[in-house]
């Protein structure tokens, strides 16, 4: 249950971070290829013709490199996948909590069956995540600490 909570938080935050990067990179590429940059280079060209040639070449290379980086990183696709994984793990967390709420009423076989059903779906998501998703240690740590803070009272955390 805690693992599902942690992964819900992690993939949700990772998806948000990737969307921010995608937006920044897209606007950066648009800015570098805009008329504003061209007029800036044109003004420099009037005063320093040799420097303007290098600046225009450098900005063209930077624009092309940024566009290539954006295409290769696939931020939008990865952010969508992170959002999907976050919702799947959230569903899994809800199902664990339902089993936990009924643990005294269900037969042990029924509990095991429900847990195995949940876990079999999680294996598929985990496989996709390991193959397709980047790892971000900072977001992993923050998500874990957030989950611990939400699940365990301050007194329990201090005692541990």
Task: Using CA atoms of 72, 75, 78, 80 in order, give the dihedral in degrees to the nearest 10.
Answer: -140
- Per the structure block, which two tokens stand in for 129? 């995540």
What is the number of structural domains in the chain?
Answer: 1
The mean pLDDT values, 10 residues at a time, for the chain of 160 residues are: 84 90 85 72 72 75 84 84 91 92 92 93 88 88 88 71
- The residue assigned the tokens 């329990």 is 156
Backbone angles phi, psi at 62, to 5 degrees: -65, -40
Q: Tokens for 159, please give them.
A: 């005692």
Residue 93 located in a structural domain: yes
CB 6 within 8 A of CB 147: yes
**Per-residue pLDDT tens over the stretch 23-47:** 888 888 887 777 667 777 777 777 7
In a domain, 8, yes or no: yes
- Residue 148 inside a domain? The answer is no
Please state whether the predicted TM-score (pTM) of the whole model is above 0.75. no
Model confidence pLDDT, tens digit, residues 142-154: 998 888 888 887 7
In a domain, 38, yes or no: yes
- 16: Cβ–Cβ under 8 A, 6 or more apart, which residues? 79
Find tokens 């992993």 and name the residue: 140
Domain that holds residue 71: 2-143
Instruction: Quote the pLDDT of residue 36.
Output: 67
Q: What pLDDT is stored for residue 128 in this prediction? A: 86
104 phi and psi angles, rounded to 5 deg = -80, -20
Assigned domain for 154 exists: no
């Amino acid at each position: 249950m805690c693992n599902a909570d942690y992964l819900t938080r992690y993939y949700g935050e990772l998806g948000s971070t990737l969307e921010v990067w995608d937006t920044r990179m897209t606007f950066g590429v648009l800015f570098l290829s805009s008329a504003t940059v061209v007029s800036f280079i044109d003004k420099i060209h009037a005063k320093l013709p040799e420097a303007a040639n290098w600046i225009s070449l450098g900005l063209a290379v930077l624009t092309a490199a940024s566009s290539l980086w954006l295409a290769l990183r696939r931020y939008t696709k990865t952010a969508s996948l992170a959002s999907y994984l976050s919702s799947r793990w959230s569903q899994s967390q809800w199902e664990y909590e339902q089993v936990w709420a009924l643990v005294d009423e269900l037969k042990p076989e029924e509990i095991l069956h429900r847990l195995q059903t949940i876990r079999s779906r999680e294996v598929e998501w985990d496989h996709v995540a390991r193959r397709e998703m980047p790892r971000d240690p900072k977001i992993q740590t923050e998500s874990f600490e957030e989950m611990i803070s939400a699940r365990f009272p301050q007194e329990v955390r201090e005692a541990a």
